A and B are shown apart, each in its own frame.
Chain A
Amino acid sequence: MNILVKLLLYTGAVPLAAQQIQFNLDHLAAKAAETVDVSLSGATLQFAAKFLEGKDPEEAQVKKLLEGITGIYVKSYEFKTDGAWTPADLDRVRNQLRAPQWARIVDITSTGDRETTQVYVRSENQKMTGLAILVAEPKELTVVNIVGNVDLNSLADLGGHFGIPKVETPSQKK
């Protein structure tokens, strides 16, 4: 029985960690000019980690980041025109991110520009078990769910490595 369970886990038949939120955004794919859909469960992440080279600084950093992560799920849509997504689309995702498990740590809303940026953290027994990022702009909608203990600084730091200018926090400036 034990062997069977191990085999199922190895073959990916049973996901090690399930997605914590349902995106329910597939209907937007038809309207989108560009779609990014990434769904990586624990087994795939462990497999991919073996191919990340330690010699490459970025890949080494990603490899370290993956140590605490058991799932990465991303849906990102870019549209050619405004109004392709509706607030209801965002609400369907947001309604799942509720206390006590989820806590919103960042909420930036610009009514004029119709831009919303929210970051949620999931915790259990005072331990971080997930992260959700919601970014909604007139022509873009991105939802990210990372399952596990995410090092936010490392992740943001990686964002600075990939062609996006890194933002220095006051503590880093010293």
Chain B
Amino acid sequence: MDWLEAELKRALARKDPEPGFGARLSARSRGGRPGTFSRRWLAAAASVLVLAGSGAAYRHYEGVRAKDKVMLAVRLAGGKLNQVQNRVLGVAK
């Protein structure tokens, strides 16, 4: 088992970071590479716009569907009532 212990010791041995690691880390925590932050916000804003647009389009589609149903119902009811008027007048003649 000595070889295993030796491998583990080597793998888990303390290593100093490469030079400049601290500077790179603090730069990233401040906002990373220039432009990354605004690009993220742009993507988020675009997603919100797409979602809002889809919502509005769906609402419009539902509205047109409801309107078509109303027109069909009124057409049918009005047609029947007109038919009734026709028959009443026919009986009256």
What 1/0 mask marks residues of chain A from 130 to 174 whose CB sits below 8 Å from any chain B CB? 000101000000101010000010011111111010110100000
Interface residues on A, range: 35 or more
Cα distance, A117 to B84, chains bound together (Å): 7
Residue of B63, B64, B73 touching A74 (CB-CB under 8 A): B73
Cα distance, A50 to B62, chains bound together (Å): 11
Cβ-defined contact, B63 with A47, below 8 A? yes
- With both beta carbons as reference points, the residue of chain B lying nearest to A146 in the complex is identified as B77
Cα distance, A48 to B61, chains bound together (Å): 11
Which of chain A's residues have a CB closer than 8 A to the CB of B73? 38, 40, 72, 74, 144
Q: Does A62 contact B (CB under 8 A)?
A: yes
Cβ-defined contact, B71 with A133, below 8 A? no
Cα distance, A53 to B80, chains bound together (Å): 24
User: How many residues on chain B are close to A (CB under 8 Å)?
Assistant: 28
Cα distance, A45 to B76, chains bound together (Å): 16
Cβ-defined contact, B64 with A51, below 8 A? yes
Which of chain A's residues have a CB closer than 8 A to the CB of B82? 156-157, 159-160, 164, 166-167
The main secondary structure of chain A at its interface with chain B is: mixed
Cα distance, A66 to B84, chains bound together (Å): 21
What is the distance, in angstroms, from A49's C-beta to the closest C-beta of chain B? 8
Cβ-defined contact, B77 with A117, below 8 A? no
If A38-B73, A158-B75, A167-B89 are given as contacts, then 19 extra A-B residue pairs at C-beta distance below 8 Å, sorted by A number, are A38-B76, A51-B60, A51-B66, A51-B67, A62-B70, A65-B74, A66-B70, A72-B73, A117-B84, A119-B84, A133-B81, A135-B84, A142-B76, A146-B77, A156-B85, A159-B80, A159-B81, A164-B83, A167-B86
B contact residues vs A (CB 8 Å cutoff): 60, 62-64, 66-67, 69-89, 91
Q: List 13 A-B contacts (CB under 8 A).
A: A40-B66, A44-B69, A47-B63, A47-B66, A51-B64, A66-B70, A106-B84, A117-B87, A133-B84, A155-B77, A156-B85, A159-B75, A160-B78
